[in-house]
A and B are shown apart, each in its own frame.
Chain A
Amino acid sequence: MIHRFANPTRFVRLADVIQPWAAGMTFLFFVTGLYFGLFASPADYQQGETVRIMYIHVPAAWMALFCYTAMAAACGTALIWKHPLADLAARATAPIGACFTLLALVTGSLWGQPMWGTWWVWDARLTSVLILFFLYLGYMALNNAFDDAERGFKASAILALVGFVNVPIIKFSVDWWNTLHQPASVLKAGGPAIHASMLTPLILMALAFKAYYLWVLLIRMRGEINAMKVRALRMRQVQQADMADKVAAGKVG
């Protein structure tokens, strides 16, 4: 039962192996993705050069949902099987997911200004993604609101699971409600409705974002593990001082 601390050592060893690969993939996919996105793909006949925003916007939006799903899964794992690394993974994922969500909102807004003639519309998808952003913020705030780290993990895990109802709402909002935001064109029945010259940079950028997520996640989790070790060392100091007192005072009954 005490692999609470044995586990991380194994994880750190694994992370040592994966981390350089994740970093390499991130750079590789970013460079090729940006090349295809900015130079080797045509401008859209309707949207012109603005279409290139899509190569950031769409993968970021995918990652916003992906990170929340990953976070909720980690939270479920932490609550049900009490796996200590799951808590750390969820905690490490939240800020990354929040950044992707913000990126999706900002790039969407930059795209919307020339295309729709407005920075923001209150349609179902935009609104539900904004709520997703708030859920990320709520998760992070609750996670850090307690003096006892364990309590923060558990409370925010429950919140993350409750907030998960928002994810399918975002995914299907464009299908359920007839809104300004266009419906899914890549992941849909009957194959993607998008030309290969645009699909290539999109896929490459999506892979780059995934690799980036993995890379940063590993860094953040190692940081959390180190913070935990520092806390444990402090506890030990206190305990040892306590023991020394007791020895000095003779055995206390």
Chain B
Amino acid sequence: MPSFSGQGLGCFRGGRLVFANLSFALQPGNALVLRGPNGSGKSTLLRLMAGLIQPLEGRIQWSDSDAGITDDPDLHYGRTHYVGHADAVKPVLTVTENVAFWARLRSPQSDVAGAIDKLGIAPLADVPGQFLSAGQKRRVNLARILAVPANLWLLDEPATALDVDAIAALCDAIAEHRAAGGMVVASTHQNLALTDHAVLHLSDYITEDPALV
């Protein structure tokens, strides 16, 4: 199984250097939790890892590929699930249809019903998205990543709006994913009960911007 790492990352967003000289490495089964105050770049780092934005310097890559992730995006996108702040739940599609759409884009074989069941929203399977609460929408979004397996999960504040039961279900899903050799990077304020995870404090990488005069 390939590992995932980034070296010497610097990122420039909204006219300022968010962090510089940041490195990380993930082996199969590893989990990395990002911590830091608002604006320290947790979301930016996750978007960088997802391949949504490009680093100003440094590179992110898979151990079995010579190319950086943005040079070989299809390989990277196929291996990665990203959960951002927005849940992408369509109000007129049912829970099943919402999850199945994303699953079908990735693979003809997917376990939509199983994913919905794992997150405890099976009773809502036929309910259109417009009737769901924020926490339920978040669970639909998480069911999307359970339906088709991928090596790496990038979770931006995944526990937002989730109740205790749902957080437990999420932790179980993460544990199962890691047991199968998957990797997780999550930013979170709450304590997800993850076992033996590494922590990256982004406030260690905040830089005085050197070049702006």
Contact = CB atoms under 8 A, between A and B. Distances in A.
Q: Do chains A and B touch in the complex (CB under 8 A)?
A: yes
Interface of A: 1-2, 4-6, 148, 229, 231-233, 235-236, 239, 242-243, 246, 251-253
Given A1-B56, A252-B203, A236 B211 contact: no
A231 B15 contact: yes
24 contacts: A1-B56, A1-B57, A2-B57, A2-B210, A5-B211, A5-B212, A6-B211, A148-B14, A232-B16, A233-B212, A235-B14, A235-B15, A236-B16, A236-B209, A236-B212, A239-B209, A242-B39, A243-B206, A246-B37, A246-B203, A252-B37, A252-B203, A253-B36, A253-B201
A232 B201 contact: no
Given A2-B56, A235-B14, A253 B203 contact: yes
Interface string B172-213: 000000000000000000000000000001010010011110
B79 interface: no
Contacts of A242: 39
Contacts of A231: 15
Given A1-B56, A2-B211, A253-B35, A235 B203 contact: no
Per DSSP, chain A at the interface is helix
Given A2-B56, A2-B211, A235 B16 contact: yes
The 9 closest A-B pairs by CB, nearest first: A232-B212, A5-B211, A235-B16, A235-B15, A252-B37, A1-B57, A2-B211, A1-B56, A231-B15
Interface string B38-60: 01000000000000000011000
B24 interface: no
B12 interface: yes
Contact of A251 (B39, B57, B203): B203
Nearest to B203: A252
Interface in B1-22: 10, 12, 14-16
B52 to A, nearest CB: 14
B37 to A, nearest CB: 5
Nearest to B20: A2
A207 B197 CA distance: 68
Contacts of A239: 16, 209
Given A232-B212, A253-B201, 13 more contacts: A1-B56, A2-B211, A4-B211, A229-B212, A232-B15, A232-B16, A235-B15, A235-B209, A243-B206, A246-B37, A252-B36, A252-B37, A253-B35
